[in-house]
Amino acid sequence: MPPPKGQVTTRDEITAENAIVAAGHRLEVEAAIGILQRGGNAVDAAVAGAFVAELAEPAMCGIGGHGVMSVYMADTRETTIVDFYDVAPAKATPDMYERLDKRNSDVLGYPQVKGDAQSVGYKSVMVPSQVAGLCAAHERFGTLPLTEVIAPAITLAKEGVPVDSTMMNYITGSAALIRRFPETSAVFLKDGLPLLAGTTSRHPADTVVREDLAQTLRKIASEGPASFYEGEIAMAIATDMAANGGLLTLTDLSNYEPYIYPAKPYTYRGYEYVTGGNVTLVEALNILECFDLSSMDPDGALCRHVMIEAMRRAWTDTLMHVGDPRGDQSPWKGLTSKEYAKKRAAEIDLAQASPVVKPGDPWEFEERPPPGTFPQPTEDVGQGNGHTTKIATVDGHGNIVSLITSLGYPFASKVTVPGTGVLLNNSMHRLDPRPGYLNSIAPGKGMQRLTAAVLVFKDGRPFAALCGSLSIAISGMALHPIVNLIDFGMGIQRAIEFYRFHPTNGRIWLDDRIADTVQRDLAAMGHHLLPLKERFGETHFGNHVGIRIEPATGKIQGGSDPFHANAVHGY
Exposed, middle or buried by CB within 10 Å (0-12, 13-18, 19+), for 262? Answer: exposed
Q: Which residues are catalytic?
A: 388
Element of type H or E holding 47 = helix 42-56
* Residue 307 falls inside a structural domain: no
By residue range, what is the domain housing residue 427? Answer: 14-160+209-259+387-441+451-570
**Span 326-358, pLDDT tens digits:** 988 999 999 999 999 999 999 999 999 999 999
* Residue 254 falls inside a structural domain: yes
Please report the pLDDT score of residue 101 as a whole number.
87
Eight-state DSSP code of residue 124: G
* Residue 103 falls inside a structural domain: yes
Residues 544 and 465: beta-carbon distance below 8 Å: no
Average pLDDT over the chain, rounded to whole?
93
* Residue 394 falls inside a structural domain: yes
Please report the pLDDT score of residue 6 as a whole number.
44
* Residue 201 falls inside a structural domain: no
CB under 8 A, 24+ apart: contacts of 177-185: 177/120, 177/411, 177/414, 178/411, 178/414, 180/120, 180/121, 180/414, 181/414, 181/415, 181/416, 183/415, 183/416, 183/417, 183/418, 184/411, 184/414, 184/415, 184/416, 184/423
Residues of the chain with pLDDT under 70: 1-9, 105-107, 200-201, 379-386, 470-476
Give the CATH number of the domain where residue 116 resides: 3.60.20.40
**Span 231-248, pLDDT tens digits:** 999 999 999 999 999 999
Element of type H or E holding 51 = helix 42-56
Exposed, middle or buried by CB within 10 Å (0-12, 13-18, 19+), for 12? Answer: exposed
Measure the CA angle with vertex 450, ends 364 and 493; round to 5°.
Answer: 115
d(CA 392, CA 467): 7
Please report the pLDDT score of residue 384 as a whole number.
52
Name 56's Cβ contacts closer than 8 Å, sequence gap at least 6: 24, 25, 26, 27, 28, 156, 161
* Residue 73 falls inside a structural domain: yes
User: What residues pair up with 338 in beta bridges, in sequence order?
Assistant: none
CA distances from 195 to 11, 64, 456 (A): 30, 22, 41
Residues 12 and 457: beta-carbon distance below 8 Å: no
Give SS3 for 359.
coil
Number of domains in the chain: 1
Please report the pLDDT score of residue 3 as a whole number.
41
Other CB atoms within a 10 A radius of the CB of residue 26 amount to 15
* Residue 328 falls inside a structural domain: no
CA distances from 72 to 33, 260, 274, 276, 457 (A): 18, 13, 10, 12, 10
Please report the pLDDT score of residue 179 as a whole number.
98
* Residue 556 falls inside a structural domain: yes
d(CA 141, CA 373): 40
